[in-house]
Amino acid sequence: MTHTTSFGEAGFQMTTVTTTASRALSGAVTGARRQVGLVVRSRIAGDDAAAGRQRIWHSEGERWNDPGDAICRVNGDASMFAAGLTALLLQSLHPLAMAGVADHSDYRGDPWGRLQRTSGFIATTTFGTIADACDLIRTINGVHRSVVGVDHRGRPYDARDPHLLRWVHVAEIWSFLECHRLYGRERLSPGLRDDYVRQSARTGLMLGARDVPTTARELDRALEGYLPELESSPAALDARHFILDEPPVGWTDKPVYTLLRHGAVAALPRWARGMLELPDGPRGSHRLGVVVGRTGVATLRWVLDAVDD
């Protein structure tokens, strides 16, 4: 007896095959996303990223900040990938602060190690226990005792100088908040922007800065107040070249890094781009730079969301 397959049966079989293939493809994409996310996280947090995450986010102890606080929303967002580059470029424009980095930092010899230490500091002081945050701040204050010298013009610098520490804090917090405004997952209300600046002030004060801003308007004024002291020193231009033109990334990382690079530059104040001899954006378009940066941040957010799922 011959069995003839009806159109309905054939359609059902084809649908089953298509569904199975779709599920397999979806599973492969999810697996690839997760693998890339784990690689990115290890780059930023080190080979012991899982242990560090457990210690910072899940260890027992009182914390300064609640998950819904503005500082957690900003510092936990993928926009921080661009913001870190923006902050480094902006901070480099103070010749005394940049001289201290050039003379005492190993950012060229071990750029990933420096990035991991910086991201660890931000994560610990934002999400970690108060005890761990205070221990880390004490350690950094101890390291700063030996960071002294002179810049390219022979002017002395000391990493414990409250005025320089205030510059580093202001440039960093301004960069984080601006990149979140441009590339963040959610918009912050004016009140939440003020909350972010106020909540971030604690760490700046504990590191030795004085008269730190506590509102977004004060933050803008503080940044502009440093303008007479800023310049494109040889060390600043060298750092810009290293960060933007010769980054320590492999060919697989370069496409997304290029997107982030444009986003970081677009977030800088126009006067900072001028000092660093940078264009407003790809093809001279600032708007295009923002679009490109938003694409890079969204891509990283997409792969990291797979790790957190």
Residue 47 DSSP code: T
Q: Residues 182, 293: contact at Cβ < 8 Å?
A: yes
Q: Residues 177, 192: contact at Cβ < 8 Å?
A: no
Instruction: Extract the runs of DSSP E, i.e. beta strands, from 64-183.
Output: 148-150, 156-158
Domain ranges of the chain: 50-236
Residue 31 confidence (pLDDT): 53
pTM across the whole model: 0.85
Mean pLDDT for each consecutive 10-residue tract of the chain (309 residues)?
54 55 50 49 57 81 96 96 94 96 78 76 96 97 96 96 98 98 96 98 98 98 98 95 85 84 97 96 95 94 74
Q: Residues 52, 120: contact at Cβ < 8 Å?
A: yes
Neighbouring-strand partners of residue 149:
157
> What whole-number distance in Å separates Cα of residue 167 and Cα of residue 195?
20
Residue 38 confidence (pLDDT): 44
Judged by phi (left if over 0) then psi (alpha if -120 to 50, else beta), residue 284 lies in: left
> What whole-number distance in Å separates Cα of residue 259 and Cα of residue 224?
27
Residue 37 confidence (pLDDT): 44
pLDDT digits (tens, 9 = 90+) for 169-190: 999 999 999 999 999 999 999 9
Take residue 248 and report the two structure tokens written for it: 């320590």
Residue 28 confidence (pLDDT): 44
> What whole-number distance in Å separates Cα of residue 293 and Cα of residue 259?
5
Residue 3 confidence (pLDDT): 54
pLDDT digits (tens, 9 = 90+) for 40-75: 555 555 556 667 777 888 889 999 999 999 999 999
Start-end of H helices in 148-285? 162-183, 190-206, 216-225, 234-240, 254-267, 270-275
Could you tell me the sign of the dihedral formed by the alpha carbons of 140, 226, 220, 292, in that order?
A: negative
Nearest to 171 by CA among 88, 251, 290: 88
Residue 112 confidence (pLDDT): 62
Residue 249 confidence (pLDDT): 76
